[in-house]
Amino acid sequence: MLENITKLLEETTNAATTSTAATTATTTTEKASSGPSIGLGLVAIGAGAAMIGAMGSAMGQGYAGGKAVEAISRNPEVEKKVRNMFIIVAAISESAAIYCLVIAFLLFFLGGK
């Protein structure tokens, strides 16, 4: 009878140890997968870096606008031609900024997966 009790205790101890190890492994895996990853942080940095292109576009657009106003103030007769040319330059410059924004959105929303 003592042998049966000893055998039962050993089986219970082994089962408890196995169950504890499995629970610990599952908990560790859940913690590793649920925490923030460095990849998502790098994607956010990349999206921010893509928006630097939009900043350059804005500075170029401001410079072109200033020069257009300067040209019109020197020679008011060419106002229509300068204005039309500036609208074309602003549209080209703004399209570069929109491309930067699209890249940033793609990186941010699709890059972390």
Which position has the higher pLDDT, 33 or 58?
Answer: 58
Determine what percent of the chain is predicted with pLDDT higher than 90: 29
- For residue 48, give Cα distances in angstroms to 41, 45, 55, 95, 107: 11, 5, 11, 18, 10
Per-residue pLDDT reduced to its tens digit, 34-68: 666 777 788 888 888 888 878 888 899 999 999 99
User: What is the pTM for the complete model shown?
Assistant: 0.55
Helix (H) or strand (E) holding 13: helix 2-34
**103: closest CA among 60, 55, 51?**
51
The answer to which of 13-17, 29-33, 46-50, 58-62 has the lowest mean pLDDT is: 29-33
Q: Are 65 and 18 in contact (CB under 8 A)?
A: no
The answer to which of 29-33, 90-94, 95-99 has the lowest mean pLDDT is: 29-33
| Alpha carbon 47 to its chain's center | 5
Domain ranges of the chain: 47-113
Mark out the alpha helices in 35-78 (DSSP H runs).
38-50, 52-74
Q: Yes or no: is domain 47-113 CATH 1.20.20.10?
A: yes
Task: Give residue for tokens 């003592």.
Answer: 2
* Distance, CA of 83 to CA of 76 (rounded, Å): 11
Q: Are 51 and 101 in contact (CB under 8 A)?
A: yes
